[in-house]
């Protein structure tokens, strides 16, 4: 990625609805050259998709919770991974180092939905040994924007 690609990547993250003319202004290229750059960024997987950012409260999922999950040593994790991938309330699922095996970020309608999810979808998997739950009281910052690193210094 060169500096122009980086400028386009930052711009489309900040406003996915920006038109090619807007992106051309940011990139300093023509509209057609900018369109080609965007297409190449998509083909290379730098731009993985186009999404709208929804307000969780407005769509009925105000509860934000984090689950730490420890798996039983030597047990197969594939059922857990499959379940987490398919469940819409699971916004993120990360495999961890250390004491816990996975960290999940969830959006739920309420505590009852969270309780049901933990009982049925998480603890219902035999490989799960323990679960710790934290419910967010407030959100100070939440973003899906990925920092775009500057170009590495040129080697001489």
Quick: pLDDT tens for 56-110: 999 999 999 999 999 998 888 999 999 999 999 999 999 999 999 999 999 999 9
- Supply the pLDDT for residue 69: 98
Instruction: Look at the chain and report how many structural domains it folds into.
Output: 2
120 domain residue, yes or no: yes
Show the domain range for 12.
3-43
Q: Are residues 77 and 20 part of one domain?
A: no
Percent of the chain with pLDDT over 70: 99
- Supply the pLDDT for residue 156: 47
Helix 3-14 × helix 31-43 angle, to 10°: 80
Residue 19 corresponds to which tokens in the numbers above?
A: 């038109």
147 domain residue, yes or no: no
Average pLDDT of the residues in 7-34:
94
Which residues, at least 6 apart from 144, have a Cβ–Cβ distance to it below 8 Å? Answer: 53
- Supply the pLDDT for residue 151: 80
Which of the four pLDDT bands, split at 50, 70 and 90, describes residue 152? confident
Q: By the 8 A CB rule, do 51 and 13 touch?
A: no
Q: Are residues 79 and 38 part of one domain?
A: no
| pLDDT tops 70 at residue 39 | yes
Q: Are residues 70 and 32 part of one domain?
A: no
**Count of alpha carbons within 13 angstroms of residue 17, beta-carbon side:** 2
| pLDDT tops 80 at residue 154 | no
13 domain residue, yes or no: yes
């Amino acid at each position: 990625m060169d500096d122009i690609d980086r400028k386009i990547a930052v711009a489309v993250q900040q406003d996915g609805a920006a038109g090619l003319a807007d992106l051309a202004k940011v990139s300093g290229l023509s509209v057609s050259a900018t369109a080609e750059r965007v297409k190449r960024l998509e083909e290379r997987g730098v731009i993985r998709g186009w999404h709208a950012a929804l307000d969780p409260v407005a769509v009925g999922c105000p509860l934000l919770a984090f689950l730490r999950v420890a798996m039983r040593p030597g047990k197969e994790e594939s059922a857990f991974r499959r379940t987490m991938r398919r469940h819409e309330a699971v916004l993120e699922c990360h495999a961890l180092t250390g004491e816990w095996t996975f960290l999940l970020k969830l959006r739920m309608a309420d505590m009852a939905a969270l309780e049901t999810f933990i009982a049925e979808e998480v603890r219902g998997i035999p490989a799960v040994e323990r679960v710790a739950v934290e419910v967010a009281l407030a959100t100070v910052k939440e973003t899906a924007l990925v920092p775009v690193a500057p170009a590495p210094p040129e080697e001489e």
